[in-house]
Amino acid sequence: MSDEQDMASGGTRPTGKRGRADAVTTVPRPKVRKRPASEGGESRGSRNPFSLMFRFLREVVAEMKKVIWPTKQEWFTYTVVVLVFIVALIGLTTGLDIGFGKAVSVVFG
């Protein structure tokens, strides 16, 4: 069936866009209540170093709670991988140093 016949019979050409029925559902985001600047005891222009320090520490603790920490097995595996990599690089550097040293002593006597 050609496009003209398909259009004449009431059919539509696919556009490649999904309809509302095919749309992916998402979880609604929680509504965040914004605090007025006067609430909370500190404003953006606060220059008190202690309030800035406590605010910073509070934000650090909040971010640290979001971190997905590795398990003991993952921690051990990562540590072994790093140590093996460091030993390999030390060996490579030592080998190149000894090789260049011998090459220089051969060339310059």
Range 31-53 burial, b when 16+ CB lie within 10 A, else e: eeeeeeeeeeeeeeeeeeeeeee
φ and ψ at 3, to 5 degrees? Answer: -65, -40
Section 18-46 average pLDDT: 63
Q: Which pLDDT score is estimated for 23?
A: 56
Does residue 63 form part of some domain? Answer: no
Does residue 86 form part of some domain? Answer: yes
pLDDT tens-place string over residues 49-96: 999 999 999 999 999 999 999 999 999 999 999 999 999 999 999 999
pTM of this structure: 0.44
Helix (H) or strand (E) holding 101: helix 72-108
Phi/psi class of residue 57: alpha, beta or left (left: φ > 0; alpha: ψ in -120 to 50)? alpha
| Statement: residue 38 has pLDDT above 90 | no
Does residue 104 form part of some domain? Answer: yes
Does residue 32 form part of some domain? Answer: no
Does residue 29 form part of some domain? Answer: no
Cα separation of 33 and 6, whole Å? Answer: 53
List the domain range (segments joined by +) for residue 91: 69-109
pLDDT tens-place string over residues 5-18: 555 555 566 566 65
Does residue 109 form part of some domain? Answer: yes
| Statement: residue 40 has pLDDT above 70 | no
How many residues are present in the chain? 109
Task: Give the number of other Cβ atoms within 10 Å of residue 85's Cβ.
Answer: 10
Q: Which pLDDT score is estimated for 19?
A: 59
* Radius of gyration in angstroms for the set of CA atoms belonging to the chain, rounded to a whole number: 33
